[in-house]
Structure formats: structure tokens, C-alpha cells
Structure 1
Amino acid sequence: MNENIAFLELKYGNIYGGYPNFYAISEIALLVFERGSNKIFLESWINQANVDIVDVYAETDELGHTVRRVREVLNMRTNRRYPYHDDFRLSEHDLQFAFRNLRSTKNAIRNFLNKNLNKYRFQDMIVFDGRRDIFLCERSGVRFNYTNIIDIQKDLNRETDYLFSLNKLARVINFNTDRSYLRSNNLEYWLHPIAARQIIPGTAAFDAARLLMVFNEYTMYHDDFLIKAAILLNKVTKRKEEKAAQLEAEKEDNGNGED
């Protein structure tokens, strides 16, 4: 008998010009992997509210290490992006208008997730640094009462004493997709065209696909995974040391130039 396991990923941001700790969900991806058959089912939801949110994403180097964090303004209805200004504030009237636009999305989020929780009948759901993801879903009325939620970032942190990002882990497993297959160091899964169309870099669906491959590499090829993770961390550490040495040398050169 085949067994389903689910992977949940969200995209969210705070209202541009509003409260920094009030987050609106912009995307949800629920990927379901059928063990035994290796079938992949992908359900996505995109918020169409006419609200501008702050989208924060990491720019990374070839090791998956964050070199800077980028803030952009995203209109969820048009999907257009605008420059972010730190001092921008909405008027109280405009802020309340944004809240009203978001209010109706709570039902849509609850209906989307409850429908798929019932449809796929899984017990385990994998998240990555998912405390806020779960909180935002529950705030919309979703209940995970019979779901065993596993945060793989916490498991990895306990085992390696390092807080991995999903970007780094994707490098560890050599994740790639050609819109027909998901591939990593030891695994390859065929994608149905309906699922493949949703897996676009920067989306929640793309992150859910990466999370699937990371989890399966970690659980199925554990020793190989840890060896490759250690190799990547050594490279990251070495690069940090080289940059620190370079900065120190530049300081000394500048100091000598002032004499």
C-alpha cells in the first residue's frame, strides 16, 4: 500500500506601509509525494487580493550562501514589483482598505488547505522553518489536529549544530529540474506536466519541490547527505575566512597610506 507524505511551503509578506509584524500569505504550495509509486501531486494557491506586500528574498552565491537580502514591493493581484522605500507609510484609511481586501482571503486559504488535507489523507507533513507558516494557516482557520508536523530544519540543526537555509541544502543535494524531472545527487522523479508548470524559481511550489528532494536525500541517503553537507560548510567557512583576511589586509593598506 502506498503512503502519502506532504510538504508545505508558503510565501508571505507584511503590508507595504503597514504593521511590520502583520503578514499576509501570497502563495501556498502543498506537494504530496506518494511513496512506493513516487508520484508527485502539487496543489497551489495564489492570493489575488489587490494589496501591496513587502517581498523579501535572498540573493545567494554558488554555495547557496546569502550575500544580501532584497526587499521589493509586490502587488499580489497584478504580480508587478516596485522599489521598496523604508520610510513609506500608508494612511489609516488605506491600511484599513488593505485589511478589508485581505479579510476574504481567509476563507479561501482555509478552504484550499482543508480540501487538500481531506483529499490526500496524509499523516506526516514536512515544513522548513515552518513555525510562522503553520501560525498563518491556523490564523485563517486551518486545523492540523491529526497531522504530524515535522520541521526538517530543526532536525538538521540538532544533528549538525548548524542552521541550514533551504538554499544551501539545495546546493548540498545538487537539486535541479528540467520541467520534466526533479533530480538530486541520488534521486530522480518524473513530473506530471500539471505539476511541472507550477515549479518556477522563486515560487512556493519551487521551494516545496526542493524540500521534497532535501527530505528524501536526508532520510534515504543519510550518510552521503551529511558528508556533502560537511563539504559545503567547509567551503563556506573557508570563503568567510578569506574575505575576513582580505578586509584586514585592506584596512592595513589604508592605514599605511594615511601615514
Structure 2
Amino acid sequence: MPDCPTCGTSLSSEAGKRQHHAKVHGEYLPNRTCEDCGTDFYDPKARLAYCDDCDPNAGENNGNWKDATERTDCERCGDEFEYYPSDKRGVYCRDCVREADEFLGDSYAEVHDIERVERECEYCGDSFSVLPCAIRDGGVRFYSRDCLSDALYDGGSNSGAYSGDWYRVRRRALDRDDHRCQHCGKEREEIGREPDVHHITPIRTFDDPQRAHSVDNVVALCRSCHLRAESGEISATEIRPE
């Protein structure tokens, strides 16, 4: 069990230790290690590979830095064009890219005649089709990211499940989490409203939706982190309450 480096309190998980330190001591613990110099640092989104001093894509090292353009010949028409190198060299000029539909051919799914699966958005009710490979853990449930976002905000097609003890549990979770996103640390004032309250184990997996409304099964997240948690980018172990 990890211990708080400041007060020595034993916590049940690394995520719990970070949450404890942010709440009790008002300081975020490092959650990343620089791949260049080895320095530990804090990144709100826990994505960066380098600290500010070592970031190879910062400043003039960035391929998109002003005046960092290069020139090459288009592989289709042969005309010379200018491009920002970024992580790969230029291949086609701008005019050829605009005409891409004429020379890049059909998509893999169209060439191999892969049949799409029809779905109905659980929020807006519109029908849409997806490739079978896109279906994971019960399938694609929403027509767009906007539908997913709206469904998370007001309960969407599961609005009947958001009754009973839900609002009491929601208030308790917000109070427990200090009205702060438990992944990136944003507070209510920074978010501009109350954080969302996310079900760690989804409501749809319960025979009785009301059983999902347990304080131990919910956590406060900002809208961005909530969407990432719903899509699987943030795992349950990263946000489960202490």
C-alpha cells in the first residue's frame, strides 16, 4: 500500500495517494517521468513524455515552427511545394490532396465489401452505420460525440435510471471529491459548473439500474475526462475512489 510522502498516511492505491495529496496538502504529486532527463513532473492529462526543458517538439525543434518549412516535389504531379515537416516528409502538393478522391481509390472496407452494422443512437434516435470492427463492449451507442456528451449530461435514453437515490448519491460524491475532477484535478470554478459524476461500472451492466448508484461506484470528473473514461481512454483503476 503506497504511503503519502508528506504525512505518511497509507492509501489503497497510487491514484488514491495522488488524490489524497491534492486534497489534503494542496499539491499535485508527479505522475510522469521525463524520457530524456529522468525528472519526475506533473502533467494534468498524464500524457506528456518529456518535461518542459527536454521536450523535443518545443520551440524551434518543432517541425511546425515558423519558417521551418521544407520543399519537395509532389509524387503525383511533380510540382515543387512547401510543407512543414513535423514527423514525416511531404508527399503530395495541396492541389493533389484536394483531388484525393480521384486517385487514392476506395477505402479498404469498400474494396473488400465489408458489410456495415446498423445502429440506433441511444440519445437522438438517428440511425447510423459502423464497421463491425468498431463495435466494442456492447457496441457504438451514440451517433456522434455531441450525442455522447449530451447523454452524459442529462441521462439520455437512460433517464429513467437516474431517479431514486441518484441525486443524493451524486451530491455525496461531489462533496467527497471536493467538487474537483478526480483525474485532471480541475476544480468547479475552473470547469465553470459542477463536475460530472461518472459511474465507474456502467449502469447498463446492472440488472437493476438503481444498484449502480453507489457512492463507491461513482467519481467526479470534468466533462473532458468523463468522455475519456466513457470511451475507455481512462481506466477504472485510475479514478476509483479511495
TM over 0.5: no
Identify the structure with the greater strand proportion: 1
Decide which structure has greater helix share: 1
Larger Rg: 2
TM-score normalised to structure 2 length:
0.24
Q: Which has the higher contact order (CA 8 A, sep 6+)?
A: 1
